[in-house]
Copies of this chain bind each other. A is one copy, B any other.
Amino acid sequence: MIQIAILGLGTVGTGVAKVVAENRRQIERKLGEPLEVKTVLVRRFRDGPYRQLMTDDFQKIENDPDIRVVVETIGGVEAAYAYTRRAIEAGKHVVTANKQLVAEHGCELLELAKRKNVSYLFEASVGGGIPVLHPLTQCMAANRIDEIYGILNGTTNYILTRMVRTGASFSDALQEAQAKGYAEADPTADVEGIDAGRKICILADLAFGQQMDPAAVPMEGISGLSLQDVKIAQRAGYRIKLLGRAVRLPGGGRTAFVAPHLIPEDNPIANVEDVFNAVMVRGNATGEVMFYGRGAGEMPTASACVADVMECLQASPRRDEIGWSASVEGFEDPLTLKSRHYFRIRGSLADAAAAFGQVEVLSENGETAFLTEPLSGQDAARQSRALNVLACMRTLS
C-alpha cells in the first residue's frame, strides 16, 4: 500500500481523489501495489466523501512517514510555496498542477528536490491532461528545440471560436463562456494572456534549459480584439488564435511572449477549436510535433497529477535531471523576432505602402487591412508610427 496526501480539495484536488479511486485497478497493475489517499489538507472541514481524511494541520502530513508523495493543488504561490518546500525538506516527492508556482519558483524547487533526493513533477501545469512536458524533456531529448508555440488557454480559444462561428463580439463571447463555466467571474488571467504566459514560461524553461522570468515575458491577451479583424483574417485564409511562443533566436538567445496571431488555415493548430489546447514543438531532428487535447478540467488535470505520482514512485530514487538552470542570461525582447505583420489602419493603401513598401492587401474600404513583408516588432512599430493604426498582430509563418 502506497499512501499519498492531497493539499487542497478544489477542482483538481477532488479530481485526484476520484482518479485514484476510479482507476484503482489500472494504477495497481502498474505500481505493483495499491495507491491510497491517506490525508487531505483543507482550510475548513466540510462534509462529503473525504471527511475522514481531512486535516487542517500541515504538520500531520509533513511528519507522517507513511506519506511518500504530496499532491499540491492549492494554487497561487504563498501557502503552496511554503508547503511544497516543507514537503520536499521532509523527504517527500511533490507533484503539482500549479503553473504560477512552477513558472516563478520551479527551478529553485527542482534544485531543492535534487538535494533531498526526491522528485518534483508538474506535467499537469501545462496542457492539463495532454502529455507535453515529459514528451518534451524525454522523448525529444535528442533534439535541439528551436521553437514552441501553442494554444495554451482554453477559455480564450473558446471565445475566439465563438467570435468566428457566430460573429459574436469579444464581450458577448466572454459572457457566453462565463455562463458555460469556461471562464471565471474575474476572467483577467485568462483573457489578458497571463495564464498562457505562465505556461509558455514553463515550456521555455524546459526546452531551453534556462529560467524564463515571467515578469520579463510580454503578455498580450484578446480583450482588445475586434470582430472586424477576425472576419478579415478569416476571409484571407487565416484564423486568429492566442499563442504563447518561445523561440530560439539566431544569435543563441531566446525569447518568449503571448499575443494573438494570424495563423494560416492549413496549419493544424489553426483548426484547434473550442476549449481544446494544442502545443507545437519544433525540434531540429524531429521537425514539428503537435500535442492536442483538453487543456483543463477536473479529470484530465487530475489524471496527469496521478501519473506524476506514479512516475515519482517508479523512478527510484528520483526523476532524472531535466537541466533547468536559474540563469536568465540570453533572454531577448520578442521585438527582435521577425514576422509578417497584420495591420488595419484608418487610411489608404498608399499610406500603407508609404510606410512599409510592398504589402498584401486583405481589405479596403476607408480602412485598409494588409500584411507586411517579414519584419521585426521594432521595425513594425517604427514604420507604422505615422499611420493611424486600428489593429496590429503578428502572423505565424
Q: How far is the CA of A134 from the CA of B315 in the complex (A)?
A: 14
Chain B residues near A314: list those with CB within 8 A: 320-321
Residue A8 interfacial (CB < 8 Å) = no
A33 to chain B, nearest CB (A): 12
A293: which of B29, B287, B315 is its contact (CB, 8 Å)?
B287
A138 vs B141: C-alpha distance in the bound complex, in angstroms? 16
Count residues on chain A whose CB falls below 8 Å from chain B CBs: 56
B283 adjacent to A303 (CB under 8 Å): yes
With a CB–CB cut-off of 8 A, which chain B residues contact A130? 286, 289
By a CB distance below 8 angstroms, the chain B residues around A25 are: 144
Among A51-59, A150-158, A294-302, A339-347, which stretch is in contact with chain B?
A294-302
A271–B134 Cα distance when bound, in Å, is: 26
Q: Is the CB of A142 within 8 A of B307?
A: yes
* B311 adjacent to A138 (CB under 8 Å): yes
**Given the contacts A27-B141, A30-B323, A142-B310, A131 and B289 also touching, CB distance less than 8 Å:** yes
A143 touches B303 (CB 8 A): yes
Chain B residues near A290 (CB-CB < 8 A): 290-293
Interface residues of A (CB under 8 A from B): 19-20, 22-23, 25-27, 29-30, 32, 123, 129-131, 134-135, 138-144, 209, 268, 271-272, 283-294, 297, 299-300, 302-304, 306-307, 309-311, 314-315, 320-323
- Nearest 5 Cβ contacts at the A-B interface: A131-B139, A285-B303, A142-B306, A131-B135, A289-B293
